[in-house]
Structure 1
Amino acid sequence: MGRSYSMDLRERVVGRIVDGHSRRSTARYFGVSESFAIKLMQRHDREGSAAPPRQGRPRGSGKLDPFETFLIDEVERQPDITMPELAAKLLEIHGMTAAPAVLSRFLCRRGFTYKKIADGSGVRTRSHS
């Protein structure tokens, strides 16, 4: 995903257009696309701000969020469960496919860590902070 232009540049573009220059000439002046200048002014007129919109998916809308309780309960019930085993249980019980790496990131974001044990296996633990 691309990065947004800085607020400084956004404010200078808006200021030049407000001063009476066209959107297209302002875009050429600052070396940005015409589309950017046009859309920036539409946003400025609509919302009163040149700030960029939030990027990314809204929080709480991931495909695993509806299964959070199930996943956490399974890991707490069996801390040494592997992510492929957890993925298989999720598919078997709920019909949802998820890659093991996605499950691991999901659990890490919820405070779980992976602890290796001397025999080569591992255990997921959760910090309660």
Structure 2
Amino acid sequence: MSAPLPLALRSRFQRLIEEGLSGRAAALRLKLSPATGARWAHQVRTKGHAKPDPQGPPRGKGKLAPYREFLEELIAQDPDITLFELRDALAEAEGVRVHHSSIANLLSRLGFTYK
């Protein structure tokens, strides 16, 4: 997914809408597509701003979120445990089957390193 358009452009667009231009007219003035103008104008009317929404899935709602404490406890017991051992322990204790890279992603977000 590409990066959202700059906030400066969005604020200029919002000012044009607040001055009374339609979304299409404001978009054409700023050299945006009419579809983007309609979308942003709707957002300005409903939310009061044209800021971009957060991209990606919400944080902390992944498959492994409920098992975070379990994984941290295993690491506290054995700091040299491997990802494959963590994966197998999770499958055995909780019945959850995940790829070892998913565990690595969770652990890196929690501040653990493999060095």
**TM-score interval, normalised by the smaller of the two chains:** 0.7 to 0.9
| Whole-angstrom CA distance in 2 between matches of 1:108 and 1:101 | 10
- Indicate the percent of aligned positions where both proteins have the same amino acid: 35
Relative to structure 1, is the Cα distance of residues 17 and 68 closer, same or farther in structure 2, using a 3 angstrom cutoff?
same
Name the CA distance, whole Å, in 1 between partners of 2:27 and 2:41: 11
**Deviating more after overlay: 47-56 vs 62-71:** 47-56
Partner of 2:110: 110
Deviation per residue, 1:38-67 (Å, 9 max, x gap): 111111111211211222222221211100
d(CA) in 2 for partners of 1:29, 1:11: 14
- 1:1-37 CA-to-partner distances (Å, cap 9, x unmatched) read 2211111111222233333433223323323222221
Gaps of 5+ in 2: none
Q: Aligned residue for 1:60?
A: 60
The aligned counterpart of 1:10 is: 10
Q: How far apart, CA to CA, are the structure 2 residues paired with 1:69 and 1:18?
A: 49
Match of 1:127 in 2: none
Alignment match, 1:81: 81
Q: Distance in 2 between matches of 1:2 and 1:30?
A: 19
Q: Does the aligned pair in 1 maintain the 2:22–2:41 contact within 8 Å?
A: no
Question: Whole-Å Cα distance in 2 between the matches of residues 109 and 17 of structure 1?
Answer: 40
SS at match of 1:113: coil
After superposing on structure 2, the runs of 4+ consecutive aligned residues of structure 1 that deviate more than 6 Å are none
- Kindly indicate which of the two structures has a greater share of residues assigned to strand: 1
2:47 counterpart residue number: 47
Following the alignment from structure 1 to structure 2, what is the Cα–Cα distance between the partners of residues 24 and 48? Answer: 18
Structure 1 letter corresponding to 2:79: P
For 1:68 and 1:4, the matched residues in 2 are separated by 32
Distance in structure 2 (CA, Å) of the matches to 1:14 and 1:49: 7
2:34 equivalent in structure 1: 34
- More divergent stretch after superposition (6-15 vs 64-73): 6-15
Specify the alignment match of 1:94 in structure 2.
94
Q: How many residues align?
A: 115
